[in-house]
Structure 1
Amino acid sequence: MAAHSSTETPTVRTATYARVSTADQSPDLQHDGLRAFAHRAGLSVVAAYTDVAVSGRKEGRPDLDRLMASARRRELDCVLVWKFDRFARSVSHLVRALDEFDHLGVRFVSVQDDVDTTSPMGRAMFAVIGAMAELESALIAERVQAGMAAAKARGRHVGRPATNGDVAARVEELARTTDLSVRKIHAAIADERGGEAGVSRSVVGRIVKEIRADVSSPS
């Protein structure tokens, strides 16, 4: 008797991700909807990730971090979320995540947004989202530049606060006449001024480096 070849459909290892912003909210509605979608689409849910009482804009979301780590270990074929705003902190974060999933060969589905990155419409939406992120970045840069120009026009200082001239001169003096470290020069100036140096240690380090480079260079 001739052997029959197997025609089983490969398992699509799927992770779901849900997020609620307060402890009073329940992620059950999201999880129920995600499981129902996975069942209809023939996806095998191997992990469910949930972040509770974490803002969408807060950097630290432990379960999202674990999901991304699992994807990078090639343990997932698909990531399923309820809506974009439950997953991403911003448009730029969404674009970075989708780009990484694309590189890893991981399918991404947002149920309520009706976006699936394996479909032609989903690929088109990915391109639109990327264009939106570029526009968002350009508009932010434009607003910052306009704000700086307006501040300069009104005579306001733009950028980091200027270093007090007397303090800078004292740093230069100590750099030339002593071999004290940057930390000790910063501490000495703070002692002289009653406990507040009036300048950051990084600025002291920059001045000391410049002065000692001049002193050590051949004339």
Structure 2
Amino acid sequence: MNVSAGVYLRVSTDRQTVDNQRADLDRLVRARGYEPIVYEEVESAAKARPVLDRLLADARAGRLAAVAVWALDRLHRSMIGAIQVVLELDRLNVRVVSVREPWLDTDSPVRPLLVAIFGWVAEQERTRLIERTKAGLERARRAGKRVGRPPASSVLLHAAGDLVAAGVSVAEAARRKGVARSTLQRFLRRR
């Protein structure tokens, strides 16, 4: 019988740390008698997450008896996404345990309802975060502040374009000249 738990640690940016999650999850997993296998990811829940995909593949392959998360929103921000992940793990007989949602580790008939409610709450938090961010950006624009990256230097873009014309890859030319690859690509399409 497999006694490994996939410990999924996630933060949204590289300016954040998983250290708080790690300590709590290690205690939770060991208290339940699981051997931890750590899956650490630095990516927004709104984007593709290859580490979570690998954890789910390991669960499907029968390598995990449980998946441990610090909170349900670490798995997914959308209600549908959180429910789908938890229910898929349930179908695979992989127990889901959470530091912040101890009710998740139960076989009660109320559990699916609670998963749906907490998934919805996580989705609403994300919606409010987006709304607050947009409001802050709009306030800054009204105040006359520049929002976003500063415009790329025309001189640097031309120099990077010359490197590409000489056979250097777009990514390497952008790196050498200190411009964003996407900005260089747009510049080259217009050129």
Q: TM-score, normalised by structure 1?
A: 0.50
Contact 2:65/2:94 (8 A) holds in 1: yes
Deviation string, structure 1 residues 54-93 (Cα, Å, up to 9, x no partner): 11111x1111010001011111110000001111131100
> Structure 2: how far apart are the matches of 1:133 and 1:33?
21
- Equivalent position to 2:45, from 56, 63, 77: 56
Contact 1:18/1:87 (8 A) holds in 2: no
- Higher gyration radius (CA): 1
- Equivalent position to 2:7, from 16, 26, 31: 16
Deviation string, structure 1 residues 80-129 (Cα, Å, up to 9, x no partner): 00001111131100111111111111000111122334442xx5232333
Q: Which amino acid aligns with 2:66?
A: C
> Structure 1: how far apart are the matches of 2:31 and 2:118?
31
Percent identity over the alignment is: 35
How has the CA–CA distance of structure 1 residues 28 and 131 changed in structure 2, closer, same or farther, with 3 Å as cutoff? closer
Residues matched between the structures, number? 121
* In the alignment, structure 1 residue 69 sits paired with structure 2 residue 57: yes
Q: TM-score, normalised by structure 2?
A: 0.57
Q: Partner of 1:116 in structure 2? A: 104
Contact 1:18/1:27 (8 A) holds in 2: yes
RMSD: 2.2
Contact 1:11/1:44 (8 A) holds in 2: no
Deviation string, structure 1 residues 7-37 (Cα, Å, up to 9, x no partner): xxx6521110011111111111111110011
Structure 2 SS opposite 1:80: strand
Structure 2 SS opposite 1:36: helix
What are the ranges of 5 or more consecutive residues in structure 1 without an aligned counterpart? 1-9, 137-219
Larger relative contact order, structure 1 or 2 (CA cutoff 8 Å, min sep 6): 2
What are the ranges of 5 or more consecutive residues in structure 2 without an aligned counterpart? 124-191
